[in-house]
Amino acid sequence: MATSQVETVSTGADKAKMGASVALVVAAVAGFYLLRQQGQVAQWAILLVGLAAAVALFLTCEPGRQLIAFGRDAWREVKKVVWPTRKESMQMTAYVFAFVVIMAVFLWLTDKTLEWLFYDLILGWKK
């Protein structure tokens, strides 16, 4: 039996809020470039205030609330992870490095063996 996740339909108000959020972002970026005569402080202030307002408005609509819920769920899952100790991390790193060195030597030996086989024995191209 397949389970399907129920999606909520965005209301007109949510769509308007998302559109206003996009408009605020565009206005903030435009204000940043239009206020270059006023100095960097004014430019950055209008950009940061506009972006903060856009984010705040976005978080009040349904997709914003879903994003917040997703973030909370993700954080809850991260808390469940059993992270390795420093000793375990160092051991695994040493194993990986040792494996890389062993594989490098193996591939080098394979390459030199095939080179000797083809160039020296079969083709007779002695160096």
Q: Is residue 2 part of a domain?
A: no
Pair 31, 38: CB distance under 8 Å: no
63 and 88 within one domain:
no
pLDDT for 7 equals: 58
Cα-only R_g, the chain: 30
Task: Count other C-beta atoms under 10 Å from residue 125's C-beta.
Answer: 8
CA angle 64–68–78, rounded 5-degree value = 150
Angle formed by the axes of helices 40-59 and 62-80, nearest 10°: 90
The predicted-structure confidence for 9-66, as pLDDT tens digits, reads as follows: 568 888 999 999 999 999 999 999 999 999 999 999 999 999 999 999 999 999 999 9
The predicted-structure confidence for 57-96, as pLDDT tens digits, reads as follows: 999 999 999 999 999 999 999 999 999 999 999 999 999 9
65 and 104 within one domain:
no
pLDDT for 123 equals: 80
Q: How many domains does the chain have?
A: 2
Domain extent, residue 25, equals 11-81
92 and 66 within one domain:
no
